[in-house]
Structure 1
């Protein structure tokens, strides 16, 4: 009875037995307590039976009188046979699977999206500092979030906002430059000077003497409102000159804009998947990639303080990837808008464009290049300290 429960576990031989006296064969099996779990008569002299491996060893003694041939196996015996026959293929498949797991865990590209080379260089240097670079293992969502905060802290004077996403085997990095206004220094005694070249449109002096007025052109550093109060050509006192100088300032802005862009739109469709993370290897339980294009957001729901093991819920948000191709006119309009944003956002100062003129532009196979001349209305007033002259 005990052996009957072991049949599915240990496996059996499927044997073809041929001989003149099959009845004697059955008598021998009964005498040796050989369990036949399945019997099929093929003809008067041939049967097919299933027996345990241990019982097959007993039957081998009858090979002089009967033709006994193994024609199949079940359970563990079949697995062992299949393993011997296909072990090289199985090993290759297993190795291939683990190689794919490893490759899927490696980053091959870091793409930094920003128009300024300086900002791209800062981000790239910071990414490399925290080992977010090609040919390294992917970081978890939690690790990336921590590193993002560190990069922002390290570059708080340069970066306002940073996003690091994983798309396939790439890190996609987007950033926003921090734009801050330079506070005007004020002194006990000061002039108001021009902080850049410009044509004066209007001067308002709260205190001090106006030296240059409307429709006069001034160079950078020129005193427009003096803190020296004069009488008959002599300085009678010094004050803190205050006021505003509205002037026309000229700029030349160069931009480039792609004729083709990959635009990713997030949708409201979300599906959850779960994975086990061991060291830097991810083993998805199911639903690894429910959508063709998606953004993944990870949440650790189970972890251990000492073991490198985590159970992670992955929220897969479906995205629509649009390959947008611009005509020359569309690209030109987009480039002009980009140039205006670049100009008006510069230094975070208030500016008003009163005239613009395209100096030149040209288009190649992938981008449009544009140079624009702008006349901008802005305040060019800058306090400058009146230094005391050294007395002999």
Structure 2
């Protein structure tokens, strides 16, 4: 059946399968580490520090990974990402006495490199597989890949908890490492050679984008993801636990469901933003949805100060934020692939996701510091400020309507 499909569709399915498999292990690994080290007596902020290198090396990887993708081909960078994740998982198979903080941080650093190599490769590869005149198809494929990835990351949270409770930390890690090894071997055989490789020799000096549109979109992306993580990564789970007495499993389950819902909305974003009318996203739409999102953390902060039922305010606010944030993220994911040059697409996509990773890193650090010293409401106002900057930057994105998509 697969052999009868067009080559570009087969390659898209292989790339998506790789990305899905990686994402499941990425989400499960995060939950395994969080829950297991929580059981060992680590505090919430201590656990967050275990992921500091994960985010930091994501910045470095996206900056240089795009150049490597253009130089070597996206099939190679994707397969390298899968291999590094297998090594990262294997590092955690040591007995407990050897799982020191530096060792776990090193494993998370490798996992962060692997994740962003895999993501950059998958997003860039779609640009090479979709015909130039099929913008509607490009948006649909990008939204499906991005949304399904985030939904599966939420499923990975559940998977991590299930593995920990049924077969334990080390056996759970072993199962994931062996499964991903099979995926990696299949990818080495099936994924098309030289996918996305630049026809011209990729220069190292080109890792920084020279495109005005991509620079603007990257800046908007940095503040967009900083605005999410400044209150969602540490402040929200700690607040739910300390203020409402939620146990660790309840907090983890809620966050997993939130991520799954967020991914599903991302997949449906083309229908929300005009796909039914055969209209593709523009900078004007990115601006509108960023302004709409800015109002939500401000409303939550005001509600927490003025409404007695603070749990309802927070949960409803989180759901609304997740829906609107998902549309914003999906719009950006389409626009970067749309703006990226045909030759050496990974250079532009890698630079953009470097800004994305930088936003996550800044948000993660600020989330711990601001919540610890000033509380959740302060985190929400910082989020609002970041989203205001995203909205302002979006005014400079190309506002002109795109051509209607091809059938």
TM-score range relative to shorter protein: under 0.3
TM-score (norm 1): 0.19
State the structure with bigger RCO (CA 8 A, min sep 6), 1 or 2: 2
Whichever structure has more strand as a proportion of its residues is 1
Task: Report the TM-score, using the length of structure 2 for normalisation.
Answer: 0.18
